[in-house]
Amino acid sequence: MGIFRQALELSGDDLPYMETITIPAKFKGWGLLTCHELFETRTHWIGRRTLPCLGENCPACRDERPRAYEAFASIVWAKNKQHDIVRLPQGPVYQLKEQTKDLTDLRGLGIELERKGEEKYGRIVCRVNNKIFEGGRLPADPDIEAQLMKIFRIDGIRVSDNERSYIIALSRHIQETKQAREKADAERAR
């Protein structure tokens, strides 16, 4: 079984798109981290898709939908030089943090991920080579948050009535985040 890749129709988008992958059963691969830090978030499973928790104003939390912890890291794989954003559950994130607790930057670290067993949601083992890769060039550090906003976007999906309030709140949240980022960029440009 191959890696599950989340692909989108991206006509009109100006941000170079990176696929987000979930480590499949019996996978073992290594690569180099290209991000400086993990992007950590809480998510809900709504309408057959993962969407971010909106914090204190989250309709999914008010509806008592379960929340999951997830982290995302960008990795360029050694085998095929593919640059991906990888979804990591709590177990391998704990292992990664434990192995890198004395470091302030993850970029350039070698990482091996292995999903044990035949199950789709089996345990993932994370091993880190703490020697920073310095030879050659790594791809640019991607804006993982911006990439995830593309993955989480709601354009064109069909929703039931009980999902509608969450979708409306998510739209507002994305718009407010975009406006805050534009305001911060304008202030830095001055």
- Mean pLDDT, range 65-87, rounded to an integer: 90
pTM of structure: 0.71
CB 4 within 8 Å of CB 83:
no
pLDDT of residue 98: 93
- Mean pLDDT, range 29-39, rounded to an integer: 92
Instruction: Determine the residue type at 162.
Output: N
Which residue bears the tokens 């091993």?
127
CA nearest neighbour of 124 among 7, 15, 3:
3
- pLDDT over threshold 70, residue 162: no
Higher pLDDT, 156 or 31: 31
- Mean pLDDT, range 178-182, rounded to an integer: 82
Tell me the C-alpha distance between 144 and 181, whole Å.
Answer: 14
Instruction: Determine the residue type at 83.
Output: H
Instruction: Determine the residue type at 124.
Output: I
Q: Is 175 left (phi over 0), alpha (psi -120 to 50) or beta?
A: alpha
- pLDDT over threshold 60, residue 163: no
Q: Is the dihedral of CA 188, 182, 74, 41 positive or negative?
A: positive
> What percent of the chain clears pLDDT 70, i.e. is strictly above it?
76
**At 58, phi and psi to the nearest 5?**
-80, 115
Query: What is the greatest pairwise CA distance in the chain?
Result: 55
- pLDDT over threshold 90, residue 113: yes
Tell me the C-alpha distance between 119 and 27, whole Å.
Answer: 11
CB 81 within 8 Å of CB 75:
no
- pLDDT over threshold 80, residue 10: no
The residue range of the domain holding 69 is: 4-189
Q: Looking at the 3D structure of the chain, how many domains does it have? A: 1
Helices 161-189 and 144-152 cross at an angle (nearest 10°) of 150
Q: 41 to each of 82, 91, 148, how far by Cα in Å?
A: 24, 14, 11
Q: Which helix (H) or strand (E) holds 69?
A: strand 68-77
**Least confident stretch, 33-47, 98-112, 123-137:** 123-137
